[in-house]
């Protein structure tokens, strides 16, 4: 069997359904958590301290004391660590490199701050990242030694010209190296059905189209002092509506270049966090490549040729509760254009602000320039996202 045919059979609704069941079945297991390690109080040999034994004869001890030596002194062994002043709970370290020890209960997947905020966000396809593009950091990555992380859920709304996108996300991390997630998105087509009806006298019968995204990502290289974190990912996509629209248009969508209703995007992403020297704040730099057949993220279907595009983002944490990001996502047009009904896809750009409400909740807003989206331009779009980490 030829490799492309095998790949198309693997990327099928049945596979997508199995992946969705697996995600929701794994989520309740996360509630079990991972037990912490007992502290070790005997890290150094004991020190001898002499105390004079001077107990009044009439004072009856509550417990039997050992016999006193002839010189009247008793030698006790005390662990010096018990005499040390305890460190206040939650005290922040001034050095970003002072990461908690394994099993210490703090997340250390996104370096640069002592208690990492609930970042990254969900990108528009449900991977961990900024609103448009992924980052190499995994969502809700737990402390070292964790087998099954806690789940994360989110909601995204985007307004692009006359069209709107609404998405719900769920994701979970395993062994701090594997991220599995699902995103269901709906695209309100705006005035596209009206323009199609005027041009063809055919009612496509849809005001909304749906795309199911099943995400699988793996941390290939952990971030080091000089090297970035590197993550490889695949997003299986299925659009159950585009073939029905094509039939109602008597093959009009296929004539533009649509080949199928499902496909997969492949991504390779690198992210490095540095501490900028001026204000000593974390700066996250991301760059990546994508191989895709999707037309407008798959909302208009999929072509028959993979095209490579580039994407990236810059994220700066202004304070411990506010971050700002710029992101860029290159787009290549898989379909032919058709007058004013289907225009050429252009690169997407966005500026985002993320507000960290508490260690579990993040709220983000963004401005979007998306160029042509089917029959209209979306140069001044906007959107928001609410994300909750359990």
Structural domains of the chain sorted by starting position, each given as residue range(s) with its CATH number in brackets:
3-27+107-389 (2.40.160.40)
255-295: per-residue pLDDT in tens? 999 999 999 999 999 999 999 988 999 999 999 999 999 99
Whether the Cβ atoms of residue 142 and residue 151 lie closer than 8 Å to each other: no
Task: Name the least confident of 8-22, 38-52, 203-217.
Answer: 38-52
CB contact at 8 A, 308 and 289 = yes
* pLDDT of 29 higher than 50: no
Say how far residue 170 (Cα) sits from the centre of its chain: 10
Split at pLDDT 50, 70, 90, the class of 79 is low
pLDDT in tens, 187-207: 999 999 999 999 889 999 999
């Amino acid at each position: 069997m030829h490799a492309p045919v095998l790949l198309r059979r693997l990327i099928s609704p049945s596979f997508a359904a199995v992946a969705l069941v697996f995600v929701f079945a794994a989520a309740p297991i996360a509630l079990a958590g991972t037990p912490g390690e007992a502290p070790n109080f005997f890290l150094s040999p004991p020190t001898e301290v002499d105390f004079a034994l001077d107990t009044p004869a009439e004072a009856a001890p509550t417990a039997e004391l050992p016999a006193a030596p002839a010189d009247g002194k008793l030698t006790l062994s005390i662990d010096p660590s018990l005499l040390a002043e305890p460190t206040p709970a939650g005290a922040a370290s001034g050095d970003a490199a002072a990461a908690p020890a394994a099993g210490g209960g703090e997340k250390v997947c996104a370096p640069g701050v002592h208690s990492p905020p609930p970042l990254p966000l969900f990108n528009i396809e449900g991977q961990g990242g900024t609103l448009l593009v992924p980052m190499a950091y995994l969502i809700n990555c737990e402390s070292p030694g964790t087998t099954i992380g806690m789940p994360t859920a989110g909601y995204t709304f985007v307004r692009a010209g006359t069209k709107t996108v609404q998405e719900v996300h769920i994701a979970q991390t395993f062994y701090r190296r594997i991220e599995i997630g699902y995103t269901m998105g709906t695209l309100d087509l705006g005035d596209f059905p009206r323009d199609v009806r005027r041009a063809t006298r055919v009612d496509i019968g849809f005001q909304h189209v749906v795309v199911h995204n099943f995400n699988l990502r793996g941390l290939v290289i952990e971030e080091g002092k000089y090297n970035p974190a590197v993550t490889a990912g695949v997003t299986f996509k299925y659009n159950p509506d585009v073939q029905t629209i094509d039939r109602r248009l008597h093959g009009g969508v296929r004539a533009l270049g649509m080949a199928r209703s499902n496909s997969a995007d492949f991504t390779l992403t690198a992210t490095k966090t540095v501490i900028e020297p001026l204000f000593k704040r974390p700066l996250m730099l991301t760059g990546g490549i994508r191989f895709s057949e999707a037309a407008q993220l798959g909302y208009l279907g999929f072509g028959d040729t993979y095209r490579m595009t580039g994407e990236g983002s810059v994220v700066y944490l202004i304070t411990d509760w506010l971050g700002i990001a710029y992101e860029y996502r290159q787009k290549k047009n898989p379909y032919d254009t058709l007058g004013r009904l289907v225009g050429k896809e252009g690169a997407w750009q966005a500026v985002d602000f993320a507000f960290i409400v508490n260690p579990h909740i993040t709220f983000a807003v963004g401005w979007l320039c998306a160029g042509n989206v089917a029959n209209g331009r979306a140069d001044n779009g906007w959107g928001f996202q609410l994300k909750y980490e359990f």
